[in-house]
Amino acid sequence: MDPVSKFLAAWKIPIGAWGKAFFTFLTDHFNAVFRGFSNGLNFLLDGLVDALLLLPPVLVVALIALLAWYLQRSRALAIGVFIGLLFIINQGLWKQTVETLVLVVAATIASMAIGVPLGIWAAHKPKVYRVMLPVLDLMQTLPTFVYLIPVLTLFGLGNAPGLIVTIIFVIPTAVRLTHLGVTSVPKAIIEAGEAFGATKSQLLWKVELPAALPTIMAGLTQCIMLSLSMVVFAALIGAGGLGTEINRALGSRRIDLGLEAGLAIVVLAIVLDRMTRIGVGDKK
Amino acid sequence: MNVAVDFKNVDIVFGPDTADALAMVDRGATRAEILEQTGNVLGCAGANLTIHEGEISVLMGLSGSGKSTLLRAVNRLNIVSRGQVLVKDGEKMVNVVSCDAATLRRLRQNQVAMVFQQFGLLPWRTVEENVGLGLELAGVPDAERKARVDKQLKLVNLDPWAKKYAHELSGGMQQRVGLARAFATEAPILLMDEPFSALDPLIRTKLQDELLQLQKTLKKTIIFVSHDLEEALKIGSHITIMEGGRIVQTGAPEDIVLRPANDYVRDFIANVNPLSVLTAWNVMRDRRDLESAGRGWTWLDRRKTTRFKVDKDGLVAAAERDGKPVEWVSCTDVEQHPEDGTQVYWANPGTPLKTVMLAMHRSQTAPVALFDEQSRFVGAIGVRDVLSAVLRR
């Protein structure tokens, strides 16, 4: 090795050690807080799953198909949703699907609830967005396994840490698409609002958000898809669902099991995507 | 007449630090110099302009001349760097530059409405919801809002389209919605930022006519930005010409055409048909400048073909052409008289030059007399006066 490289290697910056120290500090001093939060969240998610599993699967499937019809006014879609979900029951994956569904819906709702206001804030304050941008990049590009470890130490095993890693991965998309939607509202209509005496909040609710709605709704669909893609990783830290099946299939080289669970995820993805395309169809 | 909007020494500079730029404005620097030395963009400089109630005041200029910038200072869509913009608010004048947010909002909701070049309609709203925007923002109760919106839609003949979405309409229709939205707030002052520029020529002419028609009854104070002089001459009662952020000339349409202040204005009017703006008043020679023919008679023309005898009240007592007595008739019904040169035509100061020329043509180039409202003889127009006005010599 050349002397410079040798010198550099000898003086390694202890980033890993600092990170570890930071998380040790958190677990040492705030363990009760994190565990309490985690337990509460687990209780909520598990309760929801149990409640859904109490009902006959076919009834839940019918209700979801009805919801699909209500959202999109499309009979074909409702029938498609119904058949797709019956296929999942047929494959014996209903329980896992409900677990995944609860996780995905919860992660999407939480991500949108946090991401949309952040996106609006960033759109109004370019400086905020400049600070936010590298953080968002970090959240999206840092390999998922890397933050599985600290989440695991802080929150333990279960649905709650699964939900949290999913939210970390998904929020940037909600923020980015909301930011995009709000910043690309045509200047002409914002000025029209101002010229007729809109207050800041009237401008937001009556001009900016309706104009940005199609983009925000595209963000919602994206959030759902990304949450689904995290299912397998979340299962590694104890979130149940279809991801668990896939991990098990991988561990025991069960092609059949992997195929079944994989197809169930695809079906779920298509169902959720088609059901949430609100606004896109309305615009025409 | 009451003042509706008053610009007082208005400077508008866009940029982070305007102090240096304003110092350069004071030294009379051009926009290019200011941009080069300070990085600031000069929007407009030293603008002084008074607009009275009921006027249609047109701000004219090429793109980048600062006309829109000045207009948008009236409702503070552009921030004024220095100077005052006074806007009539009931009985008092409010300085828009320094007033607080609540006052500004009240002005925008009740006193100053705006029409945009790109319409600025909200595409997810129906026509009636768009028209009601201003009222909705001002918190007008639903029932009253509905009534006022319906009234405005009828006024611009949009009522059959009330439930359509804005983007389903043609450009001309969309701008009608824009007009209705501005009228709906019943604001006495209307800002129009190149409202018809995005429309094709036929629709543009139609909407100009409609605006003039509506203005007859509504009597708003309109500040209208345009880059099209024909449009400005057609609708403006006053025209202000801007260049490089500064006002070059302000005046009535015919002042601009007959007495352009500099080459920039002259270039502007080079392609304008003077017949569309000039009236008999603009081209006549005053009675006092006419040559006397002795014993109370006055020659109307330089060639001495036609003369009037005028009594002490200024009324015409007798007329002669080529030595023979003739009668004098109004040139508004020139078509009803024979083309035999047995009469002398007269016009009023407001008679279009075109009509005067027709009268000359029908009377074998005889001069046309000018009578005021009380039928007093005030001047005459000869062939040479017409030619010099049309050729601008």
Give B114's contacts in chain A (Cβ within 8 Å): 192, 195-196
Express as a percent the part of chain A with pLDDT over 70. 98
Q: State the pLDDT at residue B90.
A: 86
Domains (ranges, CATH) in chain A?
27-275 (1.10.3720.10)
A-B C-beta contacts closer than 8 Å: 65
Spatial CB neighbours of B50, under 8 Å, sequence gap ≥ 6: B3, B5, B6, B7
Q: Which residues on neighbouring strands pair with residue B380, listed in sequence order? A: B285, B369
Within 10 angstroms of residue A90's Cβ, the number of other Cβ atoms is: 10
Token pair, residue B22, equals: 């304003």
Whether B185 and chain A come into contact, CB under 8 Å, resolves to: yes
Which residue is closest to A195 within chain B, CA to CA? B108
**For the segment A257-276, what is each residue's pLDDT rounded down to a tens digit?**
999 999 999 999 999 999 98
Give B111's contacts in chain A (Cβ within 8 Å): none
Chain B residues 120-179 within an 8 A CB cutoff of chain A: 120-124, 133-134, 136-138
**For the segment B58-107, what is each residue's pLDDT rounded down to a tens digit?**
999 988 899 999 999 999 999 999 999 999 998 899 999 999 999 999 99
Q: What is the mean pLDDT of chain A?
A: 91
**DSSP collapsed to 3 states, B266-300:** HHHHCCCCHHHCCEHHHHCEEHHHCCEEECCEEEC
CA distance A272 to A223: 11
Which strands, in side-by-side order, build the sheet including B292-294?
B292-294, B297-299, B306-310, B316-321, B324-325
**For the segment A7-21, what is each residue's pLDDT rounded down to a tens digit?**
888 888 898 899 889
The reply to whether residue A197 touches residue B114, judged by beta carbons under 8 angstroms, is no
Tell me how long chain A is: 284
Mean pLDDT of B38-50: 92
Residue of A189, A198, A206 with shortest CB distance to B120: A189
Which strands, in side-by-side order, build the sheet including B246-251?
B112-115, B189-193, B221-226, B56-60, B238-243, B246-251
Residue of A192, A199, A206 with shortest CB distance to B120: A192
Q: State the pLDDT at residue A277.
A: 80
Q: Is the pLDDT of residue A284 over 80?
A: no
The reply to whether residue A196 touches residue B181, judged by beta carbons under 8 angstroms, is yes
Name the residue type at position B119.
F
The reply to whether residue B116 touches residue A211, judged by beta carbons under 8 angstroms, is no
Mutating which of B133, B167, B190, B225 best tests the A interface, going by the most A Cβ atoms within 10 A?
B133
3-state secondary structure of B188: coil
More confident residue, A240 or B177: B177
Which residue is closest to B121 within chain A, CA to CA? A189
Element (H, E) at A136: helix A126-141
Spatial CB neighbours of A245, under 8 Å, sequence gap ≥ 6: A93, A96, A257, A258, A260, A261
- Give me Rg for the CA atoms of chain A: 22
Q: A204: which DSSP letter?
A: I
Chain B closest-CA separation from residue A211 CA (Å): 8
Mean pLDDT of B107-135: 94
**For the segment A135-184, what is each residue's pLDDT rounded down to a tens digit?**
999 988 888 888 888 888 888 888 889 999 999 999 999 999 999 999 99
Which residue is closest to B107 within chain A, CA to CA? A197
Mean pLDDT of B130-137: 94
The reply to whether residue B133 touches residue A210, judged by beta carbons under 8 angstroms, is no
Mutating which of B68, B103, B118 best tests the A interface, going by the most A Cβ atoms within 10 A?
B118
Which residue is closest to B117 within chain A, CA to CA? A188
CA distance B382 to B357: 10
Of B246, B243, B240, give the one whose Cα is nearest residue B25.
B246
Whether B107 and chain A come into contact, CB under 8 Å, resolves to: yes
Residue of A186, A191, A199 with shortest CB distance to B77: A191
Q: Is the pLDDT of residue A282 over 60?
A: no
Q: Which residues on neighbouring strands pair with residue A249, listed in sequence order? A: none
Element (H, E) at A59: helix A57-72
Mean pLDDT of A50-75: 92
Which strands, in side-by-side order, build the sheet including B343-347?
B285-286, B377-381, B368-371, B343-347, B327-330
Query: Would you place residue A278 in the very low, low, confident or very high pLDDT band (cuts 50, 70, 90)?
Result: low
Give A206's contacts in chain B (Cβ within 8 Å): 133, 136-137
Q: State the pLDDT at residue A153.
A: 87
Check: CB of residue B109 under 8 Å from CB of residue B138. yes
Give A216's contacts in chain B (Cβ within 8 Å): none
Residue of B108, B112, B124 with shortest CB distance to A210: B124
Chain B closest-CA separation from residue A74 CA (Å): 22
Q: State the pLDDT at residue B393.
A: 60
Which residue is closest to A202 within chain B, CA to CA? B137
CA distance B285 to B1: 30
Mean pLDDT of B282-301: 87
**DSSP collapsed to 3 states, chain A:** CCHHHHHHHHCCCCHHHHHHHHHHHHHHHHHHHHHHHHHHHHHHHHHHHHHHHHCCHHHHHHHHHHHHHHHHCCHHHHHHHHHHHHHHHHCCCHHHHHHHHHHHHHHHHHHHHHHHHHHHHHHHCHHHHHHHHHHHHHHHHCCHHHHHHHHHHHHCCCHHHHHHHHHHHHHHHHHHHHHHHHHCCCHHHHHHHHHCCCCHHHHHHHHHHHHHHHHHHHHHHHHHHHHHHCHHHHHHCCCCCHHHHHHHHHHCCCHHHHHHHHHHHHHHHHHHHHHCCCCCCCCC
Query: Would you place residue A280 in the very low, low, confident or very high pLDDT band (cuts 50, 70, 90)?
Result: very low
What B255-261 contacts at long range (C-beta under 8 Å, 24+ apart), as own/partner pairs, is: B257/B233, B257/B392, B258/B282, B258/B389, B258/B392
Q: State the pLDDT at residue B223.
A: 97
Chain B closest-CA separation from residue A198 CA (Å): 6
Domains (ranges, CATH) in chain B?
51-273 (3.40.50.300), 281-391 (3.10.580.10)
Give B109's contacts in chain A (Cβ within 8 Å): 196-197
Token pair, residue B93, equals: 């004048």
Q: State the pLDDT at residue A281.
A: 44
Check: CB of residue A232 under 8 Å from CB of residue A96. no
CA distance B106 to B220: 18
Whether the complex's predicted ipTM surpasses the cut of 0.85? no
Token pair, residue A198, equals: 């809109």
Mutating which of A185, A191, A194, A196 best tests the B interface, going by the most B Cβ atoms within 10 A?
A196
Residue of A189, A191, A197 with shortest CB distance to B137: A197
Q: Which residues on neighbouring strands pair with residue B381, listed in sequence order? A: B368
Chain B closest-CA separation from residue A111 CA (Å): 26
Which residue is closest to A201 within chain B, CA to CA? B137
What is the phi/psi pair of residue B118, to 5°? -90, 25
The reply to whether residue B120 touches residue A194, judged by beta carbons under 8 angstroms, is no
Chain B closest-CA separation from residue A222 CA (Å): 23
Q: Which residues on neighbouring strands pair with residue B221, listed in sequence order? A: B189
| Environment class of B352 (CB within 10 Å of its CB; exposed 0-12, middle 13-18, buried 19+) | middle
